Amino acid sequence: MIRFNNSKLSKNKRLLVFISNAIRKIFGGDRLKRLSEIIISFSKQIYSSKKKKIIILDFGCGSMEISKRLEKLPYVKQIIGVDTYVSKFRTKKMKYIQYDDFFKKNKKIFDVVIAVDVLHHVGIDKSHIILKKLSKISKNIIVKDHFEYNFLSRQLLRFVDFYANYAYDVNIPKKYFNQKSWKKVINKIPFKEIKIITNFQQHDGLFNLILNKKHHFVSHLKYDKR
């Protein structure tokens, strides 16, 4: 999971986070705008098919920055954020629940789960286990993650992950999805992939040159009884 709980960070690590975020903004590394736009687009389609306000699970939510943007949408009824750290964060529409408590106590059914850059931290070989758990509480899952292509691109992804997550003590994966391993995951879970966006441009400027759009994909998975 991703742990973005700035209040629990040391003074030095909070400074590191501040500097890291400043560099990202200056050199086109702000990922929130495009990520939010694509997730809003998918969630709007789900809302249109249901004709009622939707409930969203933000799985591996970090600081819930994407959820804070979704919260403003008139067709979003509620958002639950789940991650590993301890927090009592709550707004009118949003609530945070710690990971262990969520799977023990949750009885809610969600219209859509979003999992943004989470599965590779869980582990490529274990990601189907998490998706199977999520299939019991939602018929729609939107996954944003990475594709690697060779040894070099894997190390590049690891470097960028290290840069983005060092201050938060998040584990850095040893490998990432490729198109073949992603299809294997889908074959192990009760979902079908109804849409995948590859070559998704997440960053601008220098950051896009370092980690270009071929490394990013967004997938809409829908429950399939099979």
Assign residue 16 the CATH number of its domain: 3.40.50.150
Residue 142 lies in a domain: yes
Confidence of residue 50 (pLDDT cuts 50, 70, 90): confident
CA distance linking residue 115 with residue 57, whole number of Å: 9
Residue 88 lies in a domain: yes
- Mean pLDDT, the chain, rounded, equals 85
Token pair 């879970």: residue: 189
Which pLDDT belongs to residue 204? 72
CA distance linking residue 15 with residue 20, whole number of Å: 9
Which pLDDT belongs to residue 75? 96
* CA 187 to centroid of chain Cα atoms: 21
Which pLDDT belongs to residue 17? 47
Which pLDDT belongs to residue 22? 56
Q: How many domains does the chain have?
A: 1
Asked if pLDDT for residue 49 goes beyond 60, the answer is yes
CA distance linking residue 95 with residue 88, whole number of Å: 8
Residue 173 lies in a domain: yes
Which pLDDT belongs to residue 71? 95
- Considering only residues 111 and 213, tell me which one the structure prediction assigns the higher pLDDT: 111
Does residue 121 contact residue 175 with C-beta atoms inside 8 Å?
A: no
Confidence of residue 193 (pLDDT cuts 50, 70, 90): very high
Q: Which amino acid is at 165?
A: N
Asked if pLDDT for residue 63 goes beyond 70, the answer is yes
Q: Classify 94 in phi/psi space as left (phi over 0), alpha (psi -120 to 50) or beta.
A: beta
Encoding tokens for residue 62? 């970090």
Q: What is the pLDDT of residues 66-89, one digit of tens each?
A: 999 999 999 999 999 999 888 888
Which pLDDT belongs to residue 209? 67
Does residue 62 contact residue 4 with C-beta atoms inside 8 Å?
A: yes
Which pLDDT belongs to residue 52? 93
Query: Facing residues of 114 across strands?
Result: 58, 142
Q: Which amino acid is at 100?
A: D
Residue 1 lies in a domain: no
Question: What DSSP state is assigned to residue 221?
Answer: E
The residue-averaged pLDDT of 150-163 equals 88
Asked if pLDDT for residue 166 goes beyond 70, the answer is no
Residue 20 lies in a domain: yes
Instruction: Render the burial of 89-113: b for 16+ CB within 10 Å, e for the rest.
Output: eeeebbebbbeeebeeeeeeebbbb
Task: Give the domain range for residue 12.
Answer: 6-223
Asked if pLDDT for residue 7 goes beyond 70, the answer is no
Does residue 214 contact residue 199 with C-beta atoms inside 8 Å?
A: yes
User: Edge-to-edge, what's the strand order for the sheet holding 112-116?
Assistant: 94-98, 76-83, 54-59, 112-116, 140-146, 216-223, 191-197
Do the bridges between strand 216-223 and strand 140-146 make them parallel or antiparallel, or are there none, so unpaired?
A: antiparallel
Query: Facing residues of 221 across strands?
Result: 141, 193
